[in-house]
Amino acid sequence: MEVNGRTVVLCSCEGTMPLDAAALGKALGTAPPRIHHQLCRAERDRLAAAASGGGPILVACTQERAVFEETVEEAGGDPDLIQLVNIRERAGWSAEVGSATPKIAALLAEATLPLPGTPLVGLKSEGVALVYGRDETAVEAARQLADKLDVTVLLSRPGEVVPPRATDFPILRGTIRAAKGYLGAFELVVDDYAVPAPSSRRHLDFGPPRNGASSRCDVIIDLTGGTPLFPADHKRDGYLRADPNSPAAVQALLFKAADLVGEFDKPRYVDYRADLCAHSRNRRTGCTRCLEVCPTGAITPNGDHVALDPFVCAGCGSCHAVCPTGAASYALPPADAILERLRVLLSTYHQAGGKDAVLLVHEGEHGLPLLDLLARVGDGLPARVLPVAVNEVTQLGIEFFASALAYGAAEVRVVTAKRSRSDRAALAHVLGLAETVASGLGYGSGRCGLLEADDPDELAFLLAGLTRRPGVAAKSFLPMGDKRALMKLSLRQMHAAAPAPVPVLPLTPGAVFGGLDINVDGCTLCLACVQVCPTGALSDNPEKPQLSFTEDACVQCGLCKNTCPEKVISLVPRLDFTDAARTPRVVKEEEPAHCITCGKAFGTKSTVERIVAKLQGQHWMYAGGAAALGANPIDRIRMCADCRVVAQASHTLDPYAGPARPRPRTAEDYE
């Protein structure tokens, strides 16, 4: 069977999965496939025959990857062209396997999609390790690593530590005050730094301390049991931390540390485009969403934009989830690739007769073991529950949930641990927005949410408790464009499929969609807001004083509000689905002021007259003058730049004609 140019090879796993070949062929639009029963043992020759053609292959089994790759290589094929998909634990081993054919077809169709490449960054470690502890536990750990790493022990406020018989590695005293960096490039600032006396007898005697000592290392092994040196410490490459009172945890940590020597490739999880960033303009702060949710501190302010350190970034994707402009977009995989997976998955499921699909979104680290155990020791997943694996559940933006509902999913459930070590603030924000939109458009509440489960029985109980609700009529659309374009596209499609669509949907403060409430009477058309708007939502007219606003482009960053000198702008979070939101709307326009000398248009009349009103009779420089045009200093405010220079040069200003300057204050005034 060939699907999307890839040969699909199916196996019933020794008959434990009753696969309906005719139904699968019909669902996938192909001839009925041949069902194998022991592809990894007795029927390996059939896989070799399929691989002999040299084309890409999809094998519906992940357990025997090594066997399949070896078989393909022996047959003269390319092991890199083989792709695997798990239909056994995700669909075949289930109490509802009899009605799981639409689900199996959907999983197969999704797996035939090409896997997008991911850019990489390189890390290099030469094995310079710092063992940071408080007592002999740190010394013993260093002793075990000494033949593999270049170790140094740093003891923070140690008690009586027995001196080693031989100085195989340095043992120092000090407390780390500041730390930054990543695997291969840590930089430390140490206070209370001291070296031991070589004559130490009963216990290590340290010399005089000093503060502010600096150090560099490739790996940090933290056995202090205290506060971590980094936020989200489990996500910092090269920083290993364990409870010193747990020998098993310490040994596991040392085993991992011994391998941290050499060159490593790390995914560049986020593509960042500074030209789209709405963080700041002209020293006015606008959007800070990514700064607020980044758990590792990889994102920092950098002038008008932010800086994203790919070496510190741990790939949670929270910045992508909350970024309103698409300046930060997730790359493992890109948003359009995930939405394409949803499209193929759900469209195939519906075409095969599936109904009321529930998308079960999970990570590999936590979700896969739960699904595996649920299939092996429980009843497996229900036939209408379609698992969707992502790198991090915190990477999901509003475009994911809106597209899922628009494609016809009845519900979207995200599986997480009850006590997750990851910050879920961004996910909670996106789920709240998804629920607000779904409720406001008539989908009803509870369409999107979390399933917190730490064991398979708990997950099975939560899935069994889901109220069966029908999905809406699915919309068919191709996910195209950047992050912002996908957000708008998915929400418009969700609106088009909505049971009770409304033209304008109010949102809560902090949303990334909305309009502006501008007090037109107070606006002077200074156009400062236009200069700082990062998306072009606010625009001017080069032909005359005019301010226009395109709501569809507004990301609610607040830069216009924070910059406006008249304070007449306020944000209005909402979703406007009408065509008017995509059309520039004139907010205010005036006739330009004309130069009283040459008639040239410049500025706005209201602004010029307002300046005249503030200065005339209020400042000695504009207190009067001759009757000739331009002789009165206030007339120069009504002139264009060229005529103003001529008038200034033609008439002199007596600098001593002003009021007496105040007497300087001296020390005698304070006696």
Tens digits of residue pLDDT in 369-420: 999 999 999 999 999 999 999 999 999 999 999 999 999 999 999 999 988 7
The DSSP bridge partners found for residue 272 are 328
Do the domain assignments include residue 110?
A: no
If one counts the domains in the chain, the total is 6
Looking at the structure, tell me whether residues 364 and 292 fall in a common domain.
no
Listed as own residue / partner, the contacts of 304-310 with beta carbons closer than 8 Å and 24 or more positions apart are: 304/277, 304/279, 304/280, 305/274, 305/277, 305/279, 305/280, 306/272, 306/277, 306/279, 308/270, 308/272, 310/121, 310/266, 310/268, 310/269, 310/270
Provide DSSP, 436-488: HHHHHTTS-TTSEEEEE-SSHHHHHHHHHTPPP-PPPPPP-----S-HHHHHH
What's the pLDDT tens digit per position in 196-247? 999 999 999 999 999 999 999 999 999 999 999 999 999 999 999 999 999 9
Assign 284 to helix, strand or coil.
Answer: strand
Residue 655 lies in a domain: no
Query: Does residue 130 lie within any of the structural domains?
Result: yes
Q: Is the pTM of this model over 0.85?
A: yes
Q: What is the pLDDT of residue 628?
A: 47
Q: Are residues 374 and 454 in the same domain?
A: yes
Q: Are residues 525 and 622 in the same domain?
A: no
Same domain, 360 and 482: yes
20 and 71 co-located in one domain: yes
Range in 167-171, 427-431, 469-473 with the lowest mean pLDDT: 469-473
The mean-pLDDT minimum among 533-547, 599-613, 646-660 falls in 646-660
Asked if 492 and 379 sit in the same domain, the reply is yes
**Mean local confidence (pLDDT), 311-335:** 95
d(CA 634, CA 623): 8
What average pLDDT does the segment 4-15 reach? 93
**115 belongs to a structural domain:** no
CATH number of the domain where residue 272 is located = 3.30.70.20
With respect to residue 492, please indicate whether it lies within any of the assigned structural domains.
yes
Residue 626 confidence class, pLDDT cut points 50, 70, 90: very low
Task: Answer yes or no: do 299 and 437 share one domain.
Answer: no
Quick one: tokens of 367? 């979700």
On whether residue 101 sits in a domain, the answer given is no
301 shares a domain with 255: no
Q: Are 631 and 639 in contact (CB under 8 A)?
A: no
Q: Are strands 270-272 and 328-330 parallel, antiparallel or unpaired?
A: antiparallel
pLDDT at 344 over 50: yes
Position 650 scores a pLDDT of: 81
pLDDT at position 625 over 60: no
Phi-psi region of 403 (alpha: psi -120 to 50; beta: other; left: phi over 0): alpha
Cα separation, 222 vs 225, in Å, equals: 8
Residue partners of 467: CB distance under 8 A and separation at least 6:
446
Residue 248 lies in a domain: yes
**CA distances (Å), 64 to each of 7, 68, 375, in order?**
18, 6, 17
pLDDT in tens, 47-72: 999 888 778 999 999 999 999 999 99
- Which of 222, 245, 265 corresponds to the end of one domain? 265
| Residue 586 buriedness (CB in 10 A; 0-12 / 13-18 / 19+) | exposed
Residue type, 59: V
Give the model's pLDDT for residue 345.
97
DSSP 223-267: -S-SS-SSTTGGGSTTEEE--TT-HHHHHHHHHHHTT--EEEEEE
Q: In the structure, what pLDDT confidence band is assigned to residue 104 with cuts at 50, 70 and 90?
A: very high
- Among residues 59, 84, 109, the one where a domain terminates is 84
Q: Is 534 part of a structural domain of the chain?
A: yes
Q: 403 CB contacts (<8 Å, ≥6 apart)?
A: 339, 342, 343, 479, 486, 490, 493, 494
The CATH number of the domain holding residue 128 is 3.50.50.60
Letter string b/e over residues 2-40, b meaning 16 or more CB atoms within 10 A of that residue's CB:
ebeebbbbbbbbeeebebbbebbebbbeeeebebbbebb
Report the half-sphere exposure of 254 (CA within 13 A, side-chain side): 24
> Does residue 529 share a domain with residue 432?
no
Shared-domain flag, residues 548 and 605: no
Tell me, rounded to whole angstroms, the distance of Cα 93 from its chain centroid: 35
What gap in Å lies between CA 385 and CA 356, rounded to an integer? 9
DSSP assignment of 373-391, as one string?
HHHHHS----TTEEEEEES
Domain that holds residue 602: 594-650
Hey, CA dihedral for 139, 141, 147, 151, is it positive or negative? negative
Task: Specify the pLDDT at position 631.
Answer: 61
Question: Per-residue confidence at 624, pLDDT binned at 50, 70, 90?
Answer: low
CATH of the domain at 445: 3.40.50
Ranking 67-81, 104-118, 183-197, 557-571 by mean pLDDT, the lowest is 67-81
Are 228 and 275 within one domain? no
DSSP state of 178: E
Q: 92: which DSSP letter?
A: I
472-476, 607-611, 616-620: the lowest-pLDDT one: 616-620
Pairing of strands 186-194, 82-84: unpaired
Residues 131 and 182 in one domain: yes
Residue type, 12: S
| pLDDT recorded at residue 113 | 94
Torsion of CA 453, 334, 337, 477, to 10 degrees: 100
Interhelix angle 398-406/483-496, nearest 10 degrees: 30
Looking at 30, 55, 84, the residue that finishes a domain is 84
- Residues facing 125 on adjacent strands: 262
| Alpha carbon 209 to chain centroid, angstroms | 43
